[in-house]
Amino acid sequence: MEKINLVDALSELDEDLVVKGVKSQLAENVPAIEILGQLQKGMEKVGKFYEEGEYYLSELIMSADIFSSVADLLKANMAQGAELETHGTIVLGTVKDDIHDIGKNIVATILGCNGYKVVDVGVDVPIEKFVEAVKEHKPQVVGMCCLLTTAFDAMKDTVAAVKAENSAVKILIGGGPCDNNVAKYCSADYYCKTAYDAVTLMEGQCKA
């Protein structure tokens, strides 16, 4: 039987074929970590389609969902202690007084499937919790979201506190009312207009 190309199957969002391919490789004793690597390459291809305007958020979410469902299948087969290498770490949360999490969850999902470790600190996150997470996880990037303009000041204070803890960490912001002016107001390093901008920025930061 011809080996199923997991990179193509995932990037074409063919869920049945991905599941079949993963099961078949596991049956042939291909190490789970190697299969996960193929799936991550598939996610990279999805990202490329997105950047080229062929795919949109709907396809990013669907691909992430396929990835997550087979990743669960693979985790059960991973050698004890084996972990897939990640490209970098981001601490991500919605700032204090704002409970909106749609954008944050989408960014977390897409970054996770693209090989980044996401430390999701939740919504309505106090400044100290961001700072603690930065101390503990030593991320390259901190991502802050909000949907309310009333959260701009909390975002600004959180950026200042995180920078005081670690001046090297880069801070990106995003969410409905944000733009480059808001990033400037908050002294953040970057503004992400779309969820996938976070992946592009992480790539830049983690290569640096």
Partner 1 sequence: MSKTELYNVHLERIKKAIALEKTDRVPVIPVGNSFCANHLGVSLADFAMNNELAADTMLKSFSSLGDIDGMQQPVFSPYLLSYQWLSKVRIPGIDLPKDVPWQVAEAEMMTVDDYDVIINKGYNTFFKDFLKNRLDNLEEKVNPVFAYTPQAIENCKKEGLVTLSPIVCCIPYEVFCGGRTMVKFMRDLFRLSDKVQAAMDIAMDDIVESTRQVLRAMKPTGAWVGGWRGASEFLSPKVWNRFEWPYFKRMVEVVLEENVIPVLHIDSNWERDLEKFLELPKGKCIFSSDHATNIYKVKEVLGDHMCIMGDVPAALTSLGTPDEVYNYSTKLINEIGPKGFILSSGCDIPFNAKPENVKAMIAAVTDK
d(CA 147, CA 21): 40
CB nearer to partner 1: give 62 or 73: 62
Task: Compute the least distance from the CB of residue 127 to partner 1, in Å.
Answer: 17
- Sheet with strand 141-145: strands edge to edge: 116-125, 88-95, 141-145, 170-174, 190-192
Distances (CA, A) of 144 to 22, 148, 157, 168: 35, 12, 12, 16
Task: Compute the least distance from the CB of residue 31 to partner 1, in Å.
Answer: 29
d(CA 42, CA 140): 24
Q: Is 100 in the site for partner 1 (CB under 8 A)?
A: yes
Binding residues among 114-143 for partner 1 as defined by CB under 8 A: none
DSSP E strand boundaries for 4-151: 88-95, 116-125, 141-145
Q: Is 166 in the site for partner 1 (CB under 8 A)?
A: no
Q: Is 5 in the site for partner 1 (CB under 8 A)?
A: no
Q: Is 56 in the site for partner 1 (CB under 8 A)?
A: yes
Q: Is 8 in the site for partner 1 (CB under 8 A)?
A: no
Binding mask 11-50 for partner 1 (x = CB under 8 A): --x-x-----------------------------------
The values of phi and psi at residue 142, to 5°, are -120, 130
The one among 129, 165, 185, 200 contacting partner 1 by CB under 8 A: 185
DSSP conformational letter for 138: -
Residues that bind partner 1 (CB under 8 A): 13, 15, 54-59, 61-62, 65, 97-102, 105-106, 109, 147-150, 152, 176-179, 181-182, 185, 194
